[in-house]
């Protein structure tokens, strides 16, 4: 634990600084959703039916065994869509409403932050979303957003899951897995960023633009190991821009290499859903006031789509039947 002149668990000094802070960045990880019943990816939930969850989150795993990967992600979708936003999600959403110069960079794909009412223009889900699915064909760019179906195909329904958590998943035939409804050729894949894939440029550019606008007063590191790059780099960047750092995590004393600890001005160990509403109270008010501010935001938005099969412009016709090129495909991965 770093040397800190004041008590790092003193919420009074934090709240005093919070009230003076104008530009705030929060970096969030799986611990934010722990109280919603979602296991952390690397923690106790690191195994899924005897498989290492991290080994299933790769393009190579999807190519090798799409049945296994889709069953894993279907289970994650069902868990996320059944969960409810907790008080930590609500507290951050309220802070966003109260402070338009506050942004949240989240590594979570569960979609609980937007369901809590977090303004989308202040939320950067850099690892994608489980509710997004997209075609893998290089000749198609079809994508579905806000797809909250519990089962994308009958074979991926909850009733097909093994009763015993240690039982190996069934080998689902390829024709029973999700395929693109537009091109009819490419298999659909989860719209999350897998290991060995790059983060979305538009989101990274948006974060960089916000960072470049001026000094940063406060960085909140919430429920994340702070070890996954480039997201982890935002802690140091905020520090260089003048920010003081508060780490909120269950594992502060258990992991000496926890991201942000070496830069921390405050260390709050415990459940994010209990700590965040308390330390942000000077700005967001009580949880009763937060719920009144946000209203009933936990509604699933309608599904939207974009893209489709890439049209050969050499075969395009003229007049009313002209077909426009919809853009390059997303690539097999």
- Residues labelled as active-site residues: 127
End-to-end Cα separation, the chain, in angstroms: 41
What number of other Cβ atoms are within 10 A of residue 312's Cβ? 10
Question: What are φ and ψ of residue 188, in 5° steps?
Answer: -80, 155
Going by C-beta distance under 8 Å and a sequence separation of 6 or more, which residues neighbour residue 276?
87, 88, 91, 92, 222, 248
Neighbour-count burial for 76-90, b at 16+ CB within 10 Å, e otherwise:
bbbbbbebebbbbbb
Strands 128-135 and 188-192, sheet pairing = antiparallel
Rounded to the nearest 5 percent, the helix, strand and coil shares of the chain are 35, 15, 45
Q: How far apart are CA 288 and CA 90, in angstroms?
A: 11
The pair of three-digit structure tokens given for residue 299, joined into one six-digit string: 């509604």
Q: How far is CA 245 from CA 28, 166, 215, 240, in A?
A: 13, 41, 14, 11
Alpha carbons 93 and 102: distance in angstroms, whole number: 10
Annotated binding-site residue? 272: no
Q: Which H or E element spans position 115?
A: helix 112-115
Judge whether 28 is annotated as a binding position. Answer: no
Report d(CA 64, CA 10) in Å as an integer. Answer: 50
Other Cβ atoms closer than 10 A to 316? 12
Provide the 3-class DSSP secondary structure of residue 152.
coil
Is position 183 annotated in a ligand binding site? Answer: yes
The tokens describing 103, both together, are 């942004």
Annotated binding-site ranges for Zn(2+): 135, 140, 180, 183
Annotated binding-site ranges: 135, 140, 180, 183
């Amino acid at each position: 634990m770093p040397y800190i002149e004041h008590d790092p668990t003193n919420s009074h000094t934090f709240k005093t600084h919070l009230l003076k802070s104008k530009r705030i960045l929060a970096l969030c990880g799986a611990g934010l959703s722990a109280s919603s019943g979602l296991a952390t990816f690397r923690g106790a939930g690191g195994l899924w039916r005897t498989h290492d969850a991290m080994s299933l989150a790769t393009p190579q795993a999807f190519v090798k065994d799409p049945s296994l990967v889709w069953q894993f992600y279907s289970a994650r979708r069902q868990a996320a869509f059944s969960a409810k936003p907790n008080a930590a999600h609500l507290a951050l959403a309220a802070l966003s409403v109260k402070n338009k110069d506050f942004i949240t960079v989240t590594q979570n794909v569960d979609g609980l932050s937007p369901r809590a009412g977090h303004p989308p223009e202040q939320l950067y889900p850099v690892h994608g979303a489980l509710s997004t699915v997209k075609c893998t064909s290089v000749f198609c760019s079809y994508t579905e957003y806000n797809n909250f179906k519990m089962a994308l195909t009958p074979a991926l329904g909850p009733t097909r899951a093994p009763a015993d958590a240690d039982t190996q998943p069934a080998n689902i035939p390829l024709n029973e897995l999700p395929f693109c409804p537009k091109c009819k050729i490419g298999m659909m894949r989860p719209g999350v960023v897998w290991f060995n894939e790059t983060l979305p440029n538009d989101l990274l550019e948006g974060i960089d633009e916000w960072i470049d606008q001026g000094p940063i007063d406060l960085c909140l590191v919430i429920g994340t190991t702070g070890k996954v790059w480039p997201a982890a780099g935002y802690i140091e960047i905020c520090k260089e821009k003048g920010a003081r750092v508060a780490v909120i995590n269950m594992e502060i004393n258990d992991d000496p290499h926890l991201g942000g600890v070496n830069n921390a001005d405050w260390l709050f160990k415990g459940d994010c859903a209990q700590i965040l509403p308390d330390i942000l109270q000077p700005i967001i008010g009580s949880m009763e006031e937060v719920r009144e501010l946000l209203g009933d935001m936990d509604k699933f938005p309608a599904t939207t789509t974009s893209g489709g099969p890439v049209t050969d412009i050499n075969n395009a016709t003229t007049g009313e039947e002209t077909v426009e090129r919809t853009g390059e495909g997303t690539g097999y991965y």
